[in-house]
Amino acid sequence: MSIKVGDRIPEVTLKRLREGLETVDTYTLFDGRKAVMFAVPGAFTPTCSARHLPGYVELFDQFRSRGIEVFCVAVNDPFVMQAWAKTQSVPDGLQMLSDGNGDLTRALGLELDATSSGMGIRSRRFALYVEDGIVRGCYIEEPGQFEVSSAQYVLEHLPS
């Protein structure tokens, strides 16, 4: 079963690179704050690199002006996420999080079987709006689609 509005973000750990490799707990990321977490099937993939991440980069300041943190998650290792961030000119503050083993993806019920493409199990494309650890907006794409998880769509449909 997939995550839905009203559910608490499950507690798992993710990786990120800052001053070195860090492990971060989802409760630490989400408790006490507003955040949008969007997930992509893979760093450096066509739609993710041409449209999904660039939209959040472009509109990052609009999220921040509303007091909303922005997290990008993929089932990639943290070194790939860091390299992708550099190629996409990701601003400081937009956190690139590695769900390398797919623990968060599985806990959310949002796995994508991309084994036929040689990519293994990945995350479906989605965005979640979270307040104090509770999902308040859920934007999950149908396979092969890119509509409801875009930065523009999420900004326009944030719950009041």
Which residues are designated catalytic? 48
DSSP string covering 56-83: HHHHHHHHHHTTEEEEEEESS-HHHHHH
The total of other beta-carbon atoms located within 10 Å of residue 126's CB is 22
| Residue 41 near residue 80 (C-beta atoms within 8 A) | no
DSSP E strand boundaries for the chain: 13-17, 21-25, 34-40, 68-74, 95-98, 111-113, 121-123, 126-131, 134-140
Q: Which amino acid is at 102?
A: G
Both tokens of 57, joined, read: 């980069």
